[in-house]
Structure 1
Amino acid sequence: MGDIAGTPRKGPEGDPVHTRLIALAKDWADAIVSNDATLIGGFMADEWVIVSESGISAKEQFLSLVESGELTHSAMTSVSQPRIRVYGDTAVSTGRVTNTAHYKGQRFDADEWTTDVFVNRNGRWLCVLSHITAAAPD
């Protein structure tokens, strides 16, 4: 935690929480590419939602699309190391990600800024919210 209440811990490279959250983000990306709804769901809190240009989608909706095969991912790559800030039992991870998805048979290649909000519950970091924004072309 920071020196003053509410001040974030910036998470230097050697900080175990920072290191754990970096690994968690990579493991979650690997799970998404596995297209295994159970594995993906293990990273999400029950109340998880994703916010995108099309609105808010709940965990159940997202995972049912994966489980049915209507939504698959064949690539998910971090463009750079995510920016992580820890606020007690809450952490915010922001980074740029490229991915390839197929939705109802149509391919989508995306370059996005993602923000994930994690909470630590009983020693496990779970994502409660993901927000994606299309990256501006370089």
Structure 2
Amino acid sequence: MAIDEQVTGPTTHVDGEVDRAEFQALLEDWAAAIVANDADRISAFAEPDWQIVGTESGPSPLGAFLEVVRDGSLTHSEMTFEVLSVRRLGEVAVVVAHGTNRGRWQGEPFSADEWVSDVFVRRDGRWRCVLSALTPNAGA
């Protein structure tokens, strides 16, 4: 028995086209909510205790993210994702994607090319994000 099976139970690797397509669609829907700058739609994809971890500001809670969207300090005009891998451990999934986005932060334009690591939990038949970690794509 593998060590991860002893600690957490069986690990299911979800890397088939159907499974990747499910998370690709989910991330595209979430990106559409972010590009719409719609805080209520954005929050529907995340657990209330969601955190985003970026290189500039470190961990930030959902409330802080939604606040800067609501007050217009942060806007997005473009966001894309390419799901690279998905790993599921029961009702938890870890998704690694390549993402790009453009927008404005406090009136100044920005663009980002990043590796995105998202942790999702399945609740009431829906995947909701609990953590997003952003790593700049230094090779871009």
TM-score normalised by length of structure 1: 0.89
Q: 2:13 aligns with which of 4, 9, 30?
A: 9
1:122 aligns with 2:118: no
Residue pair 2:46, 2:128 contacting (<8 A) in 1 also: yes
Report the alpha carbon displacement of residue 120 of structure 1 after superposing the two structures with TM: 0.4
In structure 2, list runs of 5 or more residues that go unmatched: none
SS at match of 1:96: strand
- Hey, what's the Cα distance between the residues in 2 that align with 1:7 and 1:85? 8
Task: Specify the code of the residue in structure 1 equivalent to 2:13.
Answer: R
1:81 aligns with 2:83: yes
- Hey, what's the Cα distance between the residues in 2 that align with 1:34 and 1:14? 27
Q: Size of the alignment, in residue pairs?
A: 132
TM-score normalised by length of structure 2: 0.87
**1:65-120 deviations in Å (ceiling 9; x for gaps):** 00011100001012x33311111100111111111021100011110010110000
- Hey, what's the Cα distance between the residues in 1 that align with 2:46 and 2:139? 30
- Hey, what's the Cα distance between the residues in 1 that align with 2:79 and 2:12? 28
- Which residue does 1:61 correspond to in 2? 64
- Hey, what's the Cα distance between the residues in 2 that align with 1:21 and 1:110? 21
Q: How well do the aligned residues superpose, as a CA RMSD in angstroms? A: 1.4
Task: Specify the code of the residue in structure 2 equivalent to 1:72.
Answer: T
Residue pair 2:52, 2:60 contacting (<8 A) in 1 also: yes
Q: How is 1:1-138 mapped onto 2 (pairs within 5 angstroms)? A: 5-15=9-19, 18-53=20-55, 54-78=57-81, 80-138=82-140
- Hey, what's the Cα distance between the residues in 1 that align with 2:76 and 2:54? 17
In structure 1, list runs of 5 or more residues that go unmatched: none
